[in-house]
Amino acid sequence: MVAGVQIHSKEAQQAQAEILTEDALKFIAALHRTFESTRQSLLVAREAAQLRLDAGVPLDFPPETAHIRADPSWLCAAPGPGLEDRRVEITGPTDRKMVVNALNSGTKTFMADFEDANSPTFANMLNGQVNLRDAIRRQIDFESGGKSYKLTDKPAVLICRTRGWHLDEPRVTVDNTPVSGSLFDFALYFYHNAWELVKRGSGPYFYLPKMEHYLEARLWNDVFNFSQSYIGMPFGTIRGTVLIETLPAAFQMEEILFELRTHSAGLNCGRWDYIFSFIKRRRADRSALLPDRKDVTMESPFMDAYVRLLIQTCHRRRVAAMGGMSAQIPVKNDVQANDAAMNKVRADKLREVKAGHDGTWIAHPAINQIAMEIFNEHMLGPHQYHIRREDVRVAAADLLSNKVPGQITSAGVRSGVEAALAYSAAWLGGNGCIPLNGLMEDAATAEISRAQLWQWVRHGARLADTGETITPEYVDNVIDTSGPKVVGGLISQKNVDIVSKYLKAQVRKEWPGEFLTSDLMGYLAIADGCPAQWQRSVL
């Protein structure tokens, strides 16, 4: 064992033996001891920023970094090998079958997700690392249910998404403190695979989620430099694509690219988390009340402004401006419903490529052909960096616009409750993404639902169809009647009961919890055998 490092779970023993090696744990300990205090100070800074917003201080572009935004001379790094053309990226969890299918999907890249499409049980986190290690070395082929799973000759380029800075990894502690979930995921993937990826003509590539400030991007850049030095790898080998999925980050896109410029692979429109953040960060502002989730589209003024600014920013600095995820998935045994869903995907991808995006996300291999055809028709080169969008003028007021057409309806409340219940209960059961009513739901979409329920109750919203005020008791009733409908398959009654209690408590709180994944993590930690102090109260 490594001095000061403790593993608090006996789950996934084979994966522990293969992945949590002595040298890998030494690397994790070195990262923790070097960067944990900075991470904690940045999380405290998030809390202070929220208090300023609650007090009525509006978000704006930081004055102290105006010189960075005004300087046209600096550019980001060239694309890493294999990242020159990212026109379609598929995303999904890291289970073995998904990894093979995603890498074989025909997309340009696969974002292997340890975050929002994943339930962070210890087995999922470690087996996912085993699966990615094996895929990189082309040792992942297997058979299951009479079917053979084998990598093609030219699989998609692999990109790993870690957990966000806010999440701990409670099953591993260093000096009696949980390690950062971000650093745990990054360290294991990087330590075991960085040189192998370079040898095979690729590199250690990452998606970086949930950042709220350019100093958080600076922390990632420091981690990259430390890690490359640690293994003797040339500086600038790593590439990181930042998801702009929080409202504060939208005001600091230039600064985030600047901090990561020697390692940057661009920015991505993390649309669903961005909507969640718009609600959460403006929690005290009744004017930020949003209608039913289905009405908050990419054409909503605040979303459109964020997209235009992201594309302009990235192309000014010569990096990829990646589009987002269409939540629709193929509908089986209903041609009309499937056609309607796929038409929504087509419209979304066409909007993205015409806006100037350099690529897009899909959640299902069957959608690759649709997305690829649209980007092939309208993006003839590997990217669209030449589309500078110099016509774009986005002010702070545009990013904060509350002009969102739509209504708050009883159907919207019920849909939100069902999504939050079903997803969160599945997450407690070890599944991080589920199909629900023709959509692929992950943590981000469940977070929108949870935040909207809180927002509607907090600000006394009225239902457009019945005139009723949305109260805690009204939400209670919808939860009680919706719970039985979502039980079945991957979703147990026990977990629905836990989530029902959690949601009822949430809508009664002064402020909503920061993340449901943080609020509910204690249940996974206890199930993995962690000491009782890791169980957090959800009430």
Active site residue 239: no
Catalytic one of 442, 450, 458, 528:
442
CA dist., res. 374 & res. 416, Å (int): 31
Cα gap 519→536, rounded to integer Å: 7
In angstroms and rounded to an integer, the radius of gyration of the C-alpha atoms of the chain is: 22
SS3 322: strand
Q: What does the alpha-carbon distance between residue 449 and residue 429 come to, in Å, rounded to a whole number? A: 19
Return the bridge partners of 113, or none.
161
Residue 206 is inside which H or E element, if any? strand 205-208
DSSP summary character for residue 154: S
List the structure tokens of 538: 């959800």
Provide φ and ψ at 267, rounded to 5°: -125, 155
Give the dihedral of Cα atoms 361, 364, 369, 374; nearest 10 deg. Answer: -30
* Separation of CA 326 from chain center: 14
Strand ranges (E), 365-471: 434-436, 439-441
Closest CA to 94 of 135, 40, 142: 135
CA pair distance 423, 442, nearest whole angstrom: 7
Alpha helix positions (H), 144-265: 181-199, 214-231, 247-250, 253-259
161 annotated active-site: yes
Q: Residues 39, 46, 161, 316: which is the catalytic one?
A: 161
217-220 long-range Cβ contacts below 8 angstroms, 24+ apart: 217/242, 217/255, 217/256, 217/259, 217/260, 218/259, 219/35, 219/38, 219/39, 219/42, 219/165, 220/259, 220/260
Catalytic residues: 161, 442
